[in-house]
Structure 1
Amino acid sequence: MIKTVAWWAVLMAVALVVVGLQTDRQTRRTPAVAASVPEAFRSAAQLPIAAYAVAGDDHESALAEAEKLVRRRPLPAEHLRVLAQAQFLAGDVAGSSLSIQYAAQRGWRDPLAQETMLRLALEAGNTSEAARRYAALFLRRDTQDALLEELGPPVLAETGGAGRQTLIDIVGGGERWHNQFLGRGARVMPADAFVEIVGATIENGTRYECRMLEQALRGVTARDEASGVAFSAIIDDQC
């Protein structure tokens, strides 16, 4: 009898563990169930819980939940970004700045971290670093064109400057995204900066599809006629 009771107790304990773990995993698809995950089993569930707390008015509670998130899963960049937000709201500006820098170093795909680091780099006068962050945002298809249009001028303002040179190096070394660069860059970058970057990469040996160059020419010319004339000459040299 005692063995039977003990056996059923073990089964119940295992079942509770399995349910807790499965519910935690389910939060990746359904964040709304996060609050129903028992505290002991919260791993994936801690991210939406911390994010909801950050969106609320209790900043101290949000900071506690964000710190718990990073203790449990310290590697994802998104978790550090949530911690940075919570620290900022709680008044820890220095800690927030440090956390967002760590987040940006770990996760080039985290758009908010990249945007924050870009703006910090601009404030510090480091246009090369700002250009690297701009490239990271540019490569994300879900980055809004309006954001790239806003950030492009301060990053790429100087003719022959560090921002443009950094983009020349990045574009020249990224053959797999040349078509994306031509199609999107003609829309969102300052027209003269786009023309300089394309021209310099061609001089350095980059070869673009003539069809894509001609499409980009139409976009550039519609935005700035003088840049269109300069770009047309570049196309004539390659195509």
Structure 2
Amino acid sequence: AEREAMIRELERSNQELGQFAHVASHDLKSPLRDIAHLAEWIDEDLEDAPESVRDDLRTLRQRTQRMDRLLTDLLAYARAGRRPGRVVEFVVCEAIEAAIELVPLPPGFSVETEGELDARLRTPRTPLETVLRNLVANAVKHHDRDAGTIAIRVDPAGADRLRFTVCDDGPGIPQQYHDKLFEMFETLRPRDEVEGSGVGLALCRRLVEAMGGTIGVESGDSRGSTFAFTWPRTWRESEHP
């Protein structure tokens, strides 16, 4: 009876997440787009406005874009883990390349890949690409120099899993922040200093754990951080109800 009650509670929570996703994608995003368009029109109509006014309009557009990203990330978080997605067969390097292509790398930044790149997986592919994309984007976003290198490595983790590591040569992350990194809305720097919703790493954890894996970070007080997570070689949903 207790197990059935827990299952019913889980189903109710999933329904609420679905309702939230619908509200976030429609009822909230629509007026936000209207605000963004209004800001653009006002900016066009006030060509001779003082620079302070134009600065305020730029700030308004930036805040609107940030809110749009937040809603998009919250929507992805709400959907993540409910159903991992369609199982497909693919080579690891294909997912890595697809993820990197979606990250705008500034001049001076590069991504290197090494390890078991030719490993074949039979799992949902989109969640893996999402995790990799978020980790690479996070490394770029929080870097403190004009140039940097990000290294993605793939290694065996037992017979049925792979271990992915994403290493950067950025400023590093103090030990006291490691536990908070994967919580919702946690950022190491003020949002006015770096664009981000604070959802990306929480989304990564949710996606990885939905596939039965683990994720963590290794970083000392010196430069550089390493994010590592495990991923199954083959996904059988029946084994993970």
TM-score (norm 1): 0.23
Q: Which has the higher helix share?
A: 1
- Pair member with larger Rg: 1
Q: Which structure is richer in relative contact order (CA contacts within 8 A, separation 6 or more)? A: 2
TM-score (norm 2): 0.23
Q: Which has the higher strand share?
A: 2
